[in-house]
């Protein structure tokens, strides 16, 4: 469960892990490959890294009302923005 600005948000495990990973690396752009390796271990890896895009998309929709955003930079990766207006 995420508490931000007095609001509560319950996240699925992988979305929570992405958010935690990006929070720990705030201000840095994290590649899709890095997130993929962090989320999935060899024993449960899906066939493609595109699953990361799906998780980030769902997480992003949940974070926008809280003033948080995850931006994507083409060919670079994802970055968490705090305090962004929706």
Global pTM? 0.82
User: What CATH number has the domain bearing residue 52?
Assistant: 1.10.10.10
**Domain assignment of residue 46, given as a range:** 2-82
The model's confidence at residue 78, banded by pLDDT at 50, 70 and 90, is: very high
Q: Which residue has the higher pLDDT, 6 or 22?
A: 22
Q: What mean pLDDT is predicted for residues 14-40?
A: 91
Q: What mean pLDDT is predicted for residues 5-27?
A: 89
Q: Evaluate whether 21 touches 35 at the Cβ level (below 8 Å).
A: yes
pLDDT score for 8? 80
Which residues, 6+ apart, have CB-to-CB distance to 14 below 8 Å? 39, 55
How many structural domains are present in the chain? 1
């Amino acid at each position: 469960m995420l508490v931000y600005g007095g609001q509560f948000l319950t996240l699925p495990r992988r979305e929570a892990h992405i958010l935690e990973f990006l929070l720990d690396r705030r201000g840095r752009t994290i590649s899709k490959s890095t997130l993929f390796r962090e989320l999935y271990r060899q024993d449960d890896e899906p066939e493609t890294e595109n699953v990361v895009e799906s998780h980030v998309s769902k997480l992003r929709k949940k974070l926008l009302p809280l003033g948080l955003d995850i931006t994507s930079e083409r060919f670079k990766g994802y970055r968490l923005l705090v305090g962004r207006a929706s």
